[in-house]
Amino acid sequence: MKLAKRVIGIGVGLVVVLVIAVVVVFVSIDRIARTGIEKGASYALAVPTTLDRADVGVFAGTFALDGLEIANPEGFKTPFFFRLDSGGVEVSLASLRSEVVTLPVLRLSDIDVYLDRAGGKSNYGTILENLKRFESDTPKGETDTPDEKEKPGKKFIVNRIEITDITTHVNLLPMGGDLTQTDVVIPEIILTDVGTAGEPVSLAEITNIITKAILASAAQVGGGIIPDDILGDLQSNLAQLNSLADSGVGMATEAVQDVVNQATEQVDEAVDQAKEQLEDAAEDLENEARNAIDQGVRGLFGGGDDKEDDDTDDGGG
């Protein structure tokens, strides 16, 4: 009887421990996911990354995140390099339990990117330089310090990444401010077949791909908007990395082309408005000049018509 009670007691104890473990996992899973994303992005770009919120729906097979912010490298005064307001994905529970997680669609929206230059360097140049280690022949992490190495984790295949409402703020002068900044707006970028052409990719590699896609799109759309020296520097830095096509990743160009046309139309419209304003201003100046000359001539000759009227009045008396 005592043995039976002891066995039952052990069994109940194991059940309690298991329940507590499950509760701890469920309570901690959002924090674990947030930490994983922060570390993956920080490793990829070699700058601090923070995430405001991660929400894992275990039974629903959903994941959402808010407020992903990637800091600038040291020496730049713009608020950050990259900020994502919201993102989300749906995934099957079976895939979550496997070594390779397949994501049908990853959606990212409301993104701000700052392109800044200071002291002969650029924040985007430093970021892209940090991404080079993903494309070298040296195995990942071999040349990194122990703290910088990416720990083994799940790999991903993403069939489609939808990136919407991207604004790239280009800082024109070191002082910054609205008057020294121009914006490049990209409504949508579509990436396909991420991790399907070769080996599945890590979170850090997904960060690498998304960063390159946004900067490459900004370079495409920015012709006529971004100053030539900054645009040429950005294109030169991108050219030192493998293209997305080299990684088997497809990037839709229709939306980008639409934006190019829209941006061109906006520039043409702005030029036309400026011409009209200059013409109106010139006409106003011409009229003011004529009035001033006319009044000056009248004053020189004693008042013009007013003097004649006085003479006529005198003669009539």
| DSSP string for 8-30 | HHHHHHHHHHHHHHHHHHHHHHH
Tell me which residue of 130, 187, 195 sits closest to 164, measured CA to CA: 187
Q: Identify whether residues 142 and 109 lie together within a single domain.
A: yes
The tens digit of pLDDT for each residue in 142-175 reads 444 444 455 556 788 888 999 999 999 998 765 5
**Same domain for 16 and 144?**
yes
Q: Contact 148/141 with Cβ under 8 angstroms? A: yes
Whether residue 258 is contained in a domain is answered as no
Indicate whether 70 and 141 sit together in one domain: yes
Parent domain of 107: 2-252
Shared domain check, 211 and 92: yes
Strand partners, 121: 118
Q: Point out the residues of the chain with pLDDT beneath 50.
A: 16-28, 137-148, 176, 254-257, 297, 300-301, 304, 306-312, 315-317
Structure tokens of 202? 């890590």
Q: Based on the domain organization, do 126 and 180 belong to the same domain?
A: yes
Domain boundary (236, 252, 268) is at: 252
Neighbours of 200 (CB within 10 A): 17
Do 179 and 37 sit in the same domain of this protein?
A: yes
pLDDT of residue 40: 82
Q: Give a yes or no: residue 259 inside a domain.
A: no
In a domain, 99, yes or no: yes
Inside any domain, residue 14: yes
Are 205 and 284 within one domain? Answer: no
Domains: count for the chain: 2
Residue 244 lies inside a defined structural domain of this protein: yes
Give me the sign of the Cα torsion angle 81, 144, 241, 121.
Answer: positive
Do both 286 and 242 map to the same domain?
A: no
- Residue matched to tokens 């959606």: 107
Burial of 103 (0-12, 13-18, 19+ CB in 10 A): buried
Same domain, 85 and 127: yes
- Does any domain span residue 209? yes
56, 154: one domain: yes
